[in-house]
């Protein structure tokens, strides 16, 4: 399926448009299936869209949204690096989400202590136990992206990016700090109906171009992610500068 690529003059417009489409997609999923399932991401734009939704989330019924994370940093719960904590500050503390439908990854001082492998396995069980007993076909998976093309905590030329069986893996030596992370794998990302990339900045232009020209996921992990129904790239002009 050909991805949809939207280019914005202004990063604020990128975030505002993605937030509006988030509202449309989630309310449509709720009308069709009752509950909408969404995978959140960290990073600058991943958190900016949550702030926009805290200000205006239209007709979303937050009690019927199931929330997961694509990755998180394996640090103490109160560490500002936690994607979950940032999502709480930006959105979750401001809307009436059902606490039973919020599924964060474990922190390094949580119930699995410092055992990151146990924490990753536990998240795989969480994915399997919500709803149908199978890993969900998420309605939406949001993705930020690094300049080297990483998505979630899937970095180029790593075992995590090459994983084809496990749904969730531990990353012990992330090239981007902090080094210890938990991440969904590409087979799980690609079960999502919609995959949206939220990308701004000239430092991301090479990775955007690689993903648009059929690069390998090993070289550019972003190139290996796509939705079953739609893949949308929300780009600012500098990030889009190397695609025609």
Ligand X SMILES: O=C1O[C@H](COP(=O)(O)O)[C@@H](O)[C@H](O)[C@H]1O
In degrees rounded to 5, what are phi and psi of residue 28?
A: -65, -45
CB closer to ligand X, 7 vs 131: 7
Please give the residues from 176 up to 235 whose contact with ligand X meets the rule CB under 6 A: 176
Q: Closest distance between ligand X and the C-beta of residue 225, in Å?
A: 11
- Is the distance from CB of 80 to CB of 94 less than 8 angstroms? no
CB closer to ligand X, 84 vs 112: 84
What residues contact 181, with CB distance under 8 A and at least 6 apart?
Answer: 71, 72, 73, 74, 153, 170, 171, 174
CB closer to ligand X, 181 vs 212: 181
Q: Closest distance between ligand X and the C-beta of residue 179, in Å?
A: 11
List the one residue from 71, 139, 148, 163 that touches ligand X (CB under 6 A): 71
The helix/strand/coil state of 170 is strand
Q: Total residues contacting ligand X (rule CB under 6 A)?
A: 15
Binding characters for ligand X, 28-57, by CB under 6 A (x = yes): -------------xxxxxx-----------
- Secondary element (H or E) of residue 108: none
CB closer to ligand X, 64 vs 102: 102
Q: Closest distance between ligand X and the C-beta of residue 73, in Å?
A: 6
In whole angstroms, how far apart are CA 152 and each of 39, 108, 149, 186?
A: 10, 18, 10, 9
Q: Closest distance between ligand X and the C-beta of residue 197, in Å?
A: 9
CB closer to ligand X, 59 vs 77: 77
| CA atoms of 140 and 142, how far apart (whole Å) | 6
CB closer to ligand X, 35 vs 37: 37
The helix/strand/coil state of 46 is helix
Q: Closest distance between ligand X and the C-beta of residue 182, in Å?
A: 10
For residues 207, 169, 167, 80, the Cα torsion angle rounded to the nearest 10 degrees is -70
Please give the residues from 120 up to 179 whose contact with ligand X meets the rule CB under 6 A: 144-146, 152-153, 176
- Is the distance from CB of 154 to CB of 47 less than 8 angstroms? no
Closest CA to 54 of 98, 89, 101: 89
List the one residue from 83, 108, 161, 231 that touches ligand X (CB under 6 A): 83
Q: Which residues bind ligand X (CB under 6 A)?
A: 41-46, 70-71, 83, 144-146, 152-153, 176
């Amino acid at each position: 399926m050909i991805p949809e690529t939207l280019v914005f003059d202004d990063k604020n417009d990128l975030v505002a448009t993605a937030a509006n489409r988030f509202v449309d997609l989630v309310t449509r999923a709720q009308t069709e299936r009752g509950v909408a399932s969404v995978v959140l991401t960290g990073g600058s734009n991943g958190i900016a869209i949550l702030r926009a939704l805290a200000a205006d989330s239209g007709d979303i019924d937050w009690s019927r949204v199931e929330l997961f994370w694509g990755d998180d940093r394996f640090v103490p719960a109160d560490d500002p690096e936690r994607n979950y904590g940032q999502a709480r500050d930006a959105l979750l503390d401001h809307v009436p989400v059902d606490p039973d439908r919020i599924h964060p990854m474990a922190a390094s001082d949580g119930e699995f202590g410092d055992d990151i492998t146990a924490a990753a396995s536990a998240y795989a069980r969480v994915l399997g136990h919500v709803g149908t007993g199978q890993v969900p076909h998420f309605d939406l998976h949001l993705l930020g992206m690094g300049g080297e093309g990483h998505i979630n905590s899937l970095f180029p030329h790593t075992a995590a990016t090459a994983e084809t069986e496990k749904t969730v893996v531990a990353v012990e030596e992330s090239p981007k700090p902090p080094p210890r992370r938990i991440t969904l794998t590409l087979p799980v990302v690609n079960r999502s109906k919609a995959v949206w990339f939220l990308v701004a900045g000239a430092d991301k232009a090479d990775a955007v171009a690689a993903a648009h020209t059929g690069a390998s996921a090993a070289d550019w992990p972003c190139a290996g992610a796509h939705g079953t129904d739609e893949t949308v790239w929300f780009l600012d002009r500098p990030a889009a500068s190397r695609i025609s």
